[in-house]
């Protein structure tokens, strides 16, 4: 079993989701998991990959890889897989990674299983289906196998691994790879940390009562070093930007701690946050469905409880 993990990096930072997949790969029993890092300063990131379990890191710094475009990455990966005979390619999902994975599958005539949330040692993937109500087992009939994992499926854990072996890869671009270019990039302005990456999310619902009360959520999130999320109802009502919407038609998150303020817990919201490690909810309505899947539920008024909670946490933190 030989596994290679594609690590996505932007601005000299390996993406947390990719490192999570690498952590997972290292736990599957292959002593020699390889990673691929491409783009500017890829080499400098190799030792970090080592700490997350990569024994060998392929790096490619060709100028064609500076822009976040999929095709040149497909070229690099296809070459590595072909030359080194890797049987399994694991990729953490992102806008870029989805294109890379599908392009690679087409190039190698390989099977691609996408939206996986887990993978067993004998390479059976777990994929949520029927609106995440069941997990189905998926596998591959041939090699190479390509797997694309849902964001936040695995925690990224550094181990005491040694320095990895670094292999520089020369890039041979296919003819069509140079045909696309990025003409501009814009960053969406958002209030705090991005909710996909945050370990702590404080989310607000209609129970906050008014848009200005989102300051309660923001203050608590700041104190905990977390991000602010919102339900569809409040985004619909224009209380908070769409980029913060969590749920079926918003973002799917799985932070370590999810604090739900005034959120009733409709199933459309639940499917966006049910895989959070610890769910704490505060709601006036003791019959709110959210209490059925909370680890800690507080029946009470968010306007009274949250300021005191924020104060207490500040005190504890000194």
Partner 1 sequence: MTTRASEYPPPFSAREFVAEPTDPVDERIEVGVLIVGAGPAGLACAIRLGQLLEAHPDVAERLGEVPVAIVEKGKQPGSHLLSGAVVNPRALRRLGFRVEDIPSYGPVHDESVYVLTRRNALRIPPPPTMRNHGNWIFSLSQLGRWLGERAEEGGAMILPETSAQKLLVSHGRVVGVRTGDKGLNREGEPMGNAEPGSDLVAKVTVLAEGTQGHLTGVALDTFGLRGEEPQVWELGVKEVWQVPKAPQGVIHTMGWPLRTRARFREFGGSFIYPMGDDMLTIGMVVGLDYRDTELSVHDVLQELKTHPKISKLLRGGERIGWGAKTIPSGGYYALPKRLHAPGLLLAGDGVGMVNIPRLKGVHYAIESGRLAAESAFAALRRGATPAVSLDTYDKAVRESFIHDDLYEVRDMRQVFGRGFFVGGALASAMTISKGRLDLGKMRAEPDAEQPLLRSDRAASYPTPDGKLTFDKLSSVFASGNKTRDDQPNHIRIERRVPKEVAEMWVSLCPAQVYEVGVEGGDGTVTVNVSPSNCVQCGAITAKGGRLTPPEGGSGPEYTLT
In the complex, the residues that contact partner 1 under the rule CB under 8 A are 131, 232-233, 235-237, 242, 245, 248-250, 266-268, 289, 292
21 vs 233 by CB, closer to partner 1? 233
Counting every residue, how long is the chain?
318
Q: Which residue has tokens 């970090």? A: 48
Least Å distance between CB 262 and partner 1? Answer: 16
236 vs 304 by CB, closer to partner 1? 236
103 vs 247 by CB, closer to partner 1? 247
Least Å distance between CB 266 and partner 1? Answer: 4
Least Å distance between CB 209 and partner 1? Answer: 14
Least Å distance between CB 248 and partner 1? Answer: 5
Whole-angstrom distance, CA of residue 150 vs CA of residue 117:
6
178 vs 237 by CB, closer to partner 1? 237
Whole-angstrom distance, CA of residue 165 vs CA of residue 170:
16
Least Å distance between CB 147 and partner 1? Answer: 24
Edge-to-edge strand list for the sheet holding 227-230: 227-230, 200-204, 257-261, 278-283, 296-299
Torsion sign (Cα): 190, 193, 195, 200: negative
Take residue 18 and report the two structure tokens written for it. Answer: 């990719």
95 vs 160 by CB, closer to partner 1? 95
108 vs 230 by CB, closer to partner 1? 230
Least Å distance between CB 243 and partner 1? Answer: 10
Which three-class secondary structure state does DSSP give residue 18?
helix
Burial class (CB in 10 A: 0-12, 13-18, 19+), 87: middle
Whole-angstrom distance, CA of residue 265 vs CA of residue 252:
14
- 28 Cβ neighbours under 8 A, 6+ residues apart: 1, 3, 119, 121
């Amino acid at each position: 079993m030989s596994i290679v993990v594609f690590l996505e990096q932007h601005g000299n930072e390996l993406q947390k989701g990719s490192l999570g997949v690498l952590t997972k790969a290292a736990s599957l029993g292959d002593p020699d998991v390889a990673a691929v890092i491409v783009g500017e300063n890829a080499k400098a990131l190799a030792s970090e990959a080592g700490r997350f379990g990569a024994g060998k890191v392929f790096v490619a710094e060709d100028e064609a890889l500076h822009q976040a475009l999929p095709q040149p990455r497909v070229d690099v990966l296809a070459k590595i897989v072909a030359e080194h005979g890797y049987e399994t390619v694991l990729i953490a999902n992102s806008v870029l990674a989805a294109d890379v994975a599908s392009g690679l599958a087409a190039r190698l005539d390989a099977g691609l299983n996408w939206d996986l949330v887990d993978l067993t040692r004998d390479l059976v993937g777990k994929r949520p289906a029927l609106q995440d109500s069941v997990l189905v087992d998926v596998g591959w009939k041939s090699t190479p196998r390509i797997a694309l994992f849902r964001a936040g499926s695995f925690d990224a854990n550094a181990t005491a691994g040694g320095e990895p072996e670094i292999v520089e890869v020369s890039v041979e671009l296919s003819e069509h790879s140079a045909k696309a270019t990025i003409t501009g990039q814009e960053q969406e302005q958002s209030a705090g940390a991005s909710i996909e990456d945050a370990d702590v999310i404080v989310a607000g619902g209609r129970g906050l009562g008014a848009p200005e009360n989102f300051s309660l959520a923001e203050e608590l999130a700041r104190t905990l070093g977390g991000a602010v999320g919102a339900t569809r109802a409040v985004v619909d009502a224009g209380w908070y930007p769409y980029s913060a919407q969590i749920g079926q038609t918003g973002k799917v998150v799985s932070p370590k701690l999810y604090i739900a303020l005034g959120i009733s817990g409709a199933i459309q919201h639940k499917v966006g946050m049910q895989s959070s490690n610890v769910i704490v909810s505060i709601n006036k309505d003791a019959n709110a469905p959210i209490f059925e899947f909370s680890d800690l539920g507080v029946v009470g008024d968010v306007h009274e409880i949250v300021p005191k909670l924020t104060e207490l946490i500040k005190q504890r933190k000194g």
